[in-house]
Structure 1
Amino acid sequence: MDPERVTHTGPDGRHLLGPVNAAKTPRWAGVGTFARLPRTDQVEHTDIAVLGIPFDAGVSYRSGASFGPNHVRESSRLLRPFNPAQSASPFAACQVADAGDLIGNPFDIAEAIESIAAGAAELMDGGTKMVSVGGDHTIALPLLRAHHALHGPVALLHFDAHLDTWDTYFGAEYTHGTPFRRAHEEGLIDPESIMHVGTRGPLYGTQDLDDDARFGFGIVSSADVMRRGVDAVVSLLRDKVGNRPLYVSLDIDVLDPAHAPGTGTPEAGGMTSREVLEILRGLRGLNIVGCDVVEVSPAYDHAELTGIAAAHVVYELITVMALGPQAEPGGPAYGISRNLYGSAAED
């Protein structure tokens, strides 16, 4: 039996099918789609699809991110349809649906990359945008290939503890530590508008930074976020991206292990959940054409901290994408004199 759902009339007059009505079906019941949204086969057209990519054959340390998509779905059951931080109802602005999982061969990385790129391109045919949930960071390369085919070289904001611009691991060119070097080599990203955010931790040597700068990347470290503050970082990122088509790739290990222990390569000194969510809200009005959230490994996720953080990251990205590039920047996400729920704030 299909449970009762919240329905809306969208801005263009379309009938939009929303999440399961939590007043009729308790949140712990039913099939675990993202935010209890409908599946893509239950709607006529999907504007934004949440796509699971359970692939982790490219990891260099702790495996388990192949279990990430369903963990994030289960962690999203408590999400509600109104986003007060952005004063928006994303599921009423456009049709958002869960596209299920896209499978890549777990024993053949090259074949998996090809099939992920092809599957993503097929899903986007007809105008659907994607928020992909991994899986390890290897999947960013085929996703960037699919987006490049539609938009040409894209701007990139890469939230991560690590650079992921290394050359090879044990001679392998395609791993979760190499996707953005390959993306640069293939011309998938715009070298004038690419940034790492939240990087930290030891490197193999200064050559890592030299190579990264040669590819065009700027770096906002986690320490920069702490010292300069969210608003200054948002301003810098917006200036860097401009109105270019933007792809956002977020490794959950950009968060400190205190906020996201369930990941494969944790590093101390990371960003807080609040900082990451506020920066994502600050991207409101940019032309985000696609994004991914990766490296959630539930086997290490005590108290579901990582899954909950990842679910909220996906929710904020969906909201920004649903509002679209026509949305006014700023708004309730930052720089206002009211609290998030509409009452006057004390001076």
Structure 2
Amino acid sequence: MNQIVIAPQWYGAYKKGPEVGALRLAELFEMGGLSEQTLISVPNVGSGEDHCMPFFDAIDKVNSNICDAVFSALSSGNKVITIGGDHAISWGSISGVLKHNPEVGVIYLDAHGDCNISERSASHHIHGMHMAYLMGFGEDKYVGRYTKNLLPVENILYVGARSLDPYEVELIKEQGISRITCDVINSDMIQVLDTISDFMSRFKQIHVSLDIDVLDPSIAPGTGVPEVGGITEEALHEVLDFILTKSDQVKSLDLVEYNPLLDIEERTDRVVQKLVKTISSL
């Protein structure tokens, strides 16, 4: 049975809209028959005094509850889909997965690396930091925040990342983190699927984290940080279909960063409707 965890959080980039997207996605999943849903409460608070980590207290509470919900679902033998909200919710969802199984592989489909740290980030948007803390980099108070189990760098495959901050470029290069670029995805799908297959073959359990902005903004403009040069909708579905056919491995998935307030002519809404149908087969 699939369980849905809904986290209508927008504090990760303190930009309104992702919370609306989360509720819209929840509605679409319910219409598709996935009615076992848990709504995570998002507190209404100020930004706090730490200008490097604004809204951390709210994000911390949300992610602690997400971690518990994901861990509980997996421990009960269920699969779990976590709906954002912004991508900072994956700090909690991936922590919950790691708490359940520290040897999980993570396929991260996103235009960004989300592996910055507070002292190096120019934007100080927490939705661009969680992967670093999950891996064990950055300040001790953020590392191992929800589980002592860290995400090894060799257990990550970035798909579609094309806009990386200086610290992220350094980290990915120095740590040898695997990455499939958009150019390869849009031109050589055989190579892409071979790389994904090789990665997945190393793990008994896979977590997929999907950010809408992996798509080119001409296809899905309704997202908070669009980046040109993204992948096509056809390529995304081909990748997802391939990953999800190995349903014995894929136990959890995130779907994040849909912002209906930024959509144009409901283009992104049509995209997410198709994605929900695909993901519901998990």
Q: Is the TM-score greater than 0.5?
A: yes
Q: Report how far residue 247 of structure 1 moved.
A: 0.6
The 8 Å contact of residues 250 and 293 in structure 1, kept in 2 or not, is answered as yes
**TM-score, reference length from structure 1:** 0.67
Q: Report how far residue 222 of structure 1 moved.
A: 1.0
The 8 Å contact of residues 104 and 116 in structure 1, kept in 2 or not, is answered as no
Letter in 1 for 2:190: D
The 8 Å contact of residues 263 and 295 in structure 1, kept in 2 or not, is answered as yes
Letter in 2 for 1:225: I
1:210 matched residue in structure 2: 170
1:272 matched residue in structure 2: 232
1:195 and 2:157 matched: yes
Please state which structure has a larger fraction of its residues in helix: 2
**TM-score, reference length from structure 2:** 0.81
Q: Report how far residue 243 of structure 1 moved.
A: 4.8
**Counterpart of 2:195 in 1: which secondary structure?**
helix
1:115, 1:155 → 2: CA distance?
A: 22
Distance 1:266 1:123, change over 3 A: same
The 8 Å contact of residues 48 and 97 in structure 1, kept in 2 or not, is answered as no
Where does the alignment leave 5 or more consecutive residues of structure 2 unmatched? 46-57, 137-143
2:279, 2:27 → 1: CA distance?
A: 18
The 8 Å contact of residues 72 and 307 in structure 1, kept in 2 or not, is answered as no
Q: Report how far residue 143 of structure 1 moved.
A: 0.7
Q: Report how far residue 303 of structure 1 moved.
A: 2.6
Paired residues, what number? Answer: 254
Distance 1:212 1:285, change over 3 A: same
- 1:39-89 per-residue CA deviation (whole Å, 9 max, x = no partner) reads xxxxxxxx11122210111116x431011122224556886xxxxxxxxxx
1:316 matched residue in structure 2: 278
1:233 and 2:192 matched: yes
2:210 matched residue in structure 1: 250
1:182, 1:308 → 2: CA distance?
A: 34
Q: Among the aligned pairs, what percent are the same residue? A: 24
Report which of the two structures shows the higher radius of gyration computed on alpha carbons: 1
Say which structure, 1 or 2, has more relative contact order (CA 8 Å, 6+ apart): 2
RMSD (CA atoms): 2.4
Where does the alignment leave 5 or more consecutive residues of structure 1 unmatched? 1-46, 80-90, 322-347
The 8 Å contact of residues 113 and 139 in structure 1, kept in 2 or not, is answered as yes
**Counterpart of 1:131 in 2: which secondary structure?**
strand
The 8 Å contact of residues 194 and 241 in structure 1, kept in 2 or not, is answered as no
Letter in 2 for 1:145: S
Letter in 2 for 1:52: I
Q: Report how far residue 314 of structure 1 moved.
A: 3.3
The 8 Å contact of residues 234 and 279 in structure 1, kept in 2 or not, is answered as yes
- 1:271-326 per-residue CA deviation (whole Å, 9 max, x = no partner) reads 1111101111111225012010100011011232223322322332332x3xxxxx
Distance 1:120 1:103, change over 3 A: farther
Q: 1:71 aligns with which of 16, 24, 42?
A: 24
- 1:14-53 per-residue CA deviation (whole Å, 9 max, x = no partner) reads xxxxxxxxxxxxxxxxxxxxxxxxxxxxxxxxx1112221
Q: 1:299 aligns with which of 258, 261, 265?
A: 261
1:106, 1:58 → 2: CA distance?
A: 13
